[in-house]
A and B are shown apart, each in its own frame.
Chain A
Amino acid sequence: MKVSITENTGYDETSVEIHCRECDANVRKLQRHICSYDERFACSSEGGTVYVNAKDIFYFETIDNKTFLYTKDKVYEIQKRLYELEDTLSDKDFFRCSKAIIVNVTKIERLKPELTRNIMAVLSNGEVVVISRRYVKAFKKLIYLEELG
């Protein structure tokens, strides 16, 4: 892979452009990697824009076609869909735990399976997020629980 840097004082901001023969899985992975480099999310807050670091995010939730970002004690609206976020977020730290929620695994403090086959995930700020039974298998695989049987 050829990497080149073009310097020009006329540029307003740094931009990265990928030139490829075909946009395959590797190219997409590279794109995700570049996008996640910045690891900040622009959110709307009382008319202004706030940038939140990925490590401060507890979870994302979609309610009525709007996406919200939750930190320890604040909620912001974000102009991205969950599937778009899934592409940019680290799949080792963030996990799609239900149709409407992506949770930061590193913020989960305690897990409690339920008779309904869901898992209740208690976050470090005391909030509770449900890992829906449809996503439980993938979650166990992520934290290597399946290997334990």
Chain B
Amino acid sequence: MNKIFSKRFLGFIRDGVAYSFSWFVILVLIIGLLSGQPDIGVDFLGKLLGFCVLAAIEFAAFFSDCFIANKGFMLRLNGFVALFLPTEIAFLYITGILTGAGTVPEWAIFVGIIIVLYLICVILDKTILRKQGQEYTTQLDKYKEKRKDESAN
């Protein structure tokens, strides 16, 4: 692992852990306050931190260009989701949020959240970003034409 590679990869993990851990703690606090249990145990925080580190490593593996270069967003997203799902399920069991086989509503909520988040990413990629890409390409073509004229003169 060369220096630039490891610096970039570790930077992704550092940022990922910082963002995800902060947001999860805030979310857990909000849910705790709303349900009348505002305390967070040290044990839970430790498990949450471990989960965030694992999730950040998985995210960096697919999105940092250190392992997968020159690949599109959809391939990265699918790879990340495939790796992240087992991690997430393991976290739910380790923290006791899910026990045993779980109930149908519990799994329905879990799968529903995953599908909604996945669809948001896909829709953004396929609609807004595709349109933006067409605008960029049009502008690039204009620039190339301009350069061609300049070279000819």
Cβ proximity bits B128-144 to A, threshold 8 Å, 1 near / 0 not: 01101101110110111
Query: Which one of B63, B130, B136, B137 lies within 8 Å of A116 (CB-CB)?
Result: B63
Does B124 lie at the interface of the complex (its beta carbon under 8 Å from any beta carbon of A)?
Answer: yes
| Bound-complex Cα distance A111 to B124 (A) | 16
Scoring B71, B129, B133 by chain A CB atoms within 10 A of each residue's CB, the highest score goes to B133
* B139 touching A143, Cβ below 8 Å: yes
Cβ proximity bits A113-146 to B, threshold 8 Å, 1 near / 0 not: 1111011100000011110100000000011110
* B4 touching A99, Cβ below 8 Å: yes
Does B47 lie at the interface of the complex (its beta carbon under 8 Å from any beta carbon of A)?
Answer: no
Cβ proximity bits B107-124 to A, threshold 8 Å, 1 near / 0 not: 000000000000001001
Does A93 lie at the interface of the complex (its beta carbon under 8 Å from any beta carbon of B)?
Answer: yes
* B144 touching A115, Cβ below 8 Å: no
The total of interchain contacts (Cβ-Cβ below 8 angstroms) comes to 68
Total count of chain B residues near the partner, CB < 8 A:
28
* B147 touching A112, Cβ below 8 Å: no
| Bound-complex Cα distance A40 to B25 (A) | 58
Query: Which one of A114, A142, A148 lies within 8 Å of B125 (CB-CB)?
Result: A114
With A116-B73, A129-B70, A130-B65 known as contacts, the answer to whether A111 contacts B140 (CB < 8 A) is: yes
| A residues at B contact (CB < 8 Å) | 64, 92-93, 99, 105-106, 108-116, 118-120, 127-130, 132, 142-145, 148
Q: Which 9 A-B pairs have the closest CB atoms?
A: A111-B136, A112-B133, A143-B143, A128-B70, A114-B73, A145-B139, A111-B137, A113-B132, A113-B129
| B residues at A contact (CB < 8 Å) | 2, 4, 63, 65, 69-73, 76, 121, 124-125, 129-130, 132-133, 135-137, 139-140, 142-144, 147-148, 150
List 12 other contacts, CB 8 Å, given A109-B137, A127-B70, A143-B142.
A105-B147, A106-B144, A110-B133, A111-B140, A112-B133, A120-B70, A129-B70, A130-B70, A143-B136, A143-B139, A144-B142, A144-B143
